[in-house]
Copies of this chain bind each other. A is one copy, B any other.
C-alpha cells in the first residue's frame, strides 16, 4: 500500500487529482491537506511515500514552504504541482531538490506517469520543457541550500523579518526574548553570508515567486 499526500488549498483540484490517480493505481492510499501547517501535521502522523505539493498554499510562502518541508522530512520525495509552466520556475523547483514538477494542465496519463517515475526514484518534468531546463540556476540552488540550513527557529525569525517586523516584535510573537531573536538573526546572517537585515529580506523575497500584492 502506497501512501500519497495531496497538499493543495483548492479542494476541487484535489478531488480531480485524487480521481485521476485512483483510476491509475489500485494500491493507493490518498491523504489530503489544505495548508502548510496541515501538511506538516499529516506528514508527522503518517508514513508518506510521495507528496504532491502546491506552491501557492496558505502559509506556504512558495519556495520557502518547499524548503521547510524538505528540511523537516528529508526522506520524503516531493513533487511540486503548480499552475504555471514557466521553465525558469521549474528549473528553480528542481534545483531546490524537488523530485519533479507537475503542471496543473497535465493529462491524467501524464500525471500517473509522473507519479510512477517519482515513486521509482526518478526525477520527472513535463515532456515539453525537458530540454529547456538542462541548465539549473547555480546561484539559486546555492541560495536555497543556505536557507535550507537554517534551524526551525531561525526560519521563523526570517519569516517575520520578511514582514518588516522589529526584533522586539518578533520576540513578542514567538514568545522569546529580544536577545534570543538577535542571536538568531546573527546566525542567519552567518549562514546566508550577509551582514544586515535588508539583504536577508531580499534573499527571503527571492524565494517568493509572486510579489505579495495581496
Contacts and interface: CB of A to CB of B under 8 A. Distances in A.
A206 B139 CA distance: 21
Contacts of A198: 161, 164-165, 197-198, 201
Interface in A87-130: none
Given A205-B205, A211-B205, A199 B139 contact: no
A131 interface: no
Interface in A42-83: none
A131 to B, nearest CB: 20
A92 to B, nearest CB: 9
Contacts of A139: 213-214
Contacts of A205: 202, 205, 211
12 contacts: A139-B213, A162-B202, A164-B196, A164-B199, A164-B202, A197-B198, A198-B201, A202-B205, A202-B212, A206-B211, A206-B212, A208-B211
Given A162-B202, A164-B202, 6 more contacts: A137-B213, A139-B213, A164-B196, A166-B196, A198-B198, A208-B211
